[in-house]
């Protein structure tokens, strides 16, 4: 059977000094698969949209800011992640510079600046603990992982990294 995942972006917006990250606390929609969890910003790609344009659009829609500098931190394949067991494939970005003032909330929940070192203590998806250290290591290598899910829980985590040849 061919792998036909839902393509999505997930972005982590860093404060100018790099000590905080903008997170959405998904607390606004009952029935939300992510209800109660903290997450980065992002969503599904639209037809004909490249991943960079999709990430910029999602950040603009969800936080009201413009991405001035961003970097692909990596990708993750999430087989079985969706509510109905759909496969997802995410392009994970670091937003290192932006203009504007973030909204305090959006349709999915409250937006909060969180100290990077405090993030692991938040209610997150169980699999986030595997890849967030790679995202938060802003000088680290690009990563590409696979994290199969079943019934809302990760089954495993495999990851490769890519370092730039200089």
Domain count of the chain? 1
pLDDT band of residue 112 (cuts 50, 70, 90) is very high
Count of positions (residues) in the chain: 166
pLDDT band of residue 60 (cuts 50, 70, 90) is very high
Q: Is residue 1 part of a domain?
A: no
Judged against a pLDDT cut of 80, whether residue 32 lies above it is answered with: no
Q: Is residue 38 part of a domain?
A: yes
- Provide the residue range defining the domain that includes 91: 6-162
Residue from 73, 55, 72, 80 nearest 3 by CA: 80
Residue from 40, 156, 12, 146 nearest 87 by CA: 146
Q: What is the pLDDT of residues 65-110, one digit of tens each?
A: 999 999 999 999 999 998 888 999 999 999 999 999 999 999 999 9
Span 9-17, average pLDDT: 98
Identify the burial level of 151 via C-beta atoms within 10 angstroms of its C-beta, where 0-12 means exposed, 13-18 middle and 19 or more buried.
exposed
Proportion of the chain above pLDDT 90, given as a percent: 83
pLDDT band of residue 165 (cuts 50, 70, 90) is low
Q: Can you tell me the distance from the alpha carbon of 132 to that of 68, in angstroms, rounded to the nearest whole number?
A: 22
CB 112 within 8 A of CB 118: no
In angstroms, the Cα distances linking 8 to 3, 49, 72, 87, 161 are: 15, 11, 13, 11, 20
Tell me, what's the pLDDT at 31?
A: 81
Helices (H), 31-149: 51-63, 128-136
Span 133-148, average pLDDT: 95
Judged against a pLDDT cut of 80, whether residue 19 lies above it is answered with: yes
Which residues does 119 contact at the CB level (< 8 Å), separation at least 6? 21, 23, 38, 132, 136
User: Which CATH number characterizes residue 33's domain?
Assistant: 3.90.79.10
Judged against a pLDDT cut of 70, whether residue 166 lies above it is answered with: no
CB 124 within 8 A of CB 108: no
In three-state secondary structure terms, 46 is coil
Tell me, what's the pLDDT at 57?
A: 98
Span 8-12, average pLDDT: 98
Q: Is residue 158 part of a domain?
A: yes
Span 39-61, average pLDDT: 97
Q: Is residue 33 part of a domain?
A: yes
């Amino acid at each position: 059977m061919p792998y036909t995942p839902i393509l999505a972006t997930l972005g982590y917006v860093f404060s100018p000094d790099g000590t905080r990250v903008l997170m959405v606390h998904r607390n606004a929609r009952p029935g939300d698969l992510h209800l109660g969890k903290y997450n980065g910003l992002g969503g599904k790609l639209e037809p004909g949209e490249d991943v960079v344009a999709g990430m910029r659009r999602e950040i603009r829609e969800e936080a009201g800011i413009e991405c001035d500098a961003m970097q692909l931190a990596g990708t993750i394949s999430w087989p079985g992640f969706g509510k109905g067991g759909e496969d997802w494939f995410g392009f994970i970005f670091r937003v290192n510079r932006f203009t504007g003032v973030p909204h305090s909330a959006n349709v999915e929940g409250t937006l909060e600046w969180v100290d990077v070192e405090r993030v692991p203590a938040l209610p997150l998806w169980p699999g986030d603990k595997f890849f967030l250290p790679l995202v938060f290591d802003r000088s680290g290598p690009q990563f590409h992982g696979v994290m199969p899910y079943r019934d809302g829980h990760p089954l495993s985590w495999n990851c490769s990294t890519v370092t730039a040849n200089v």
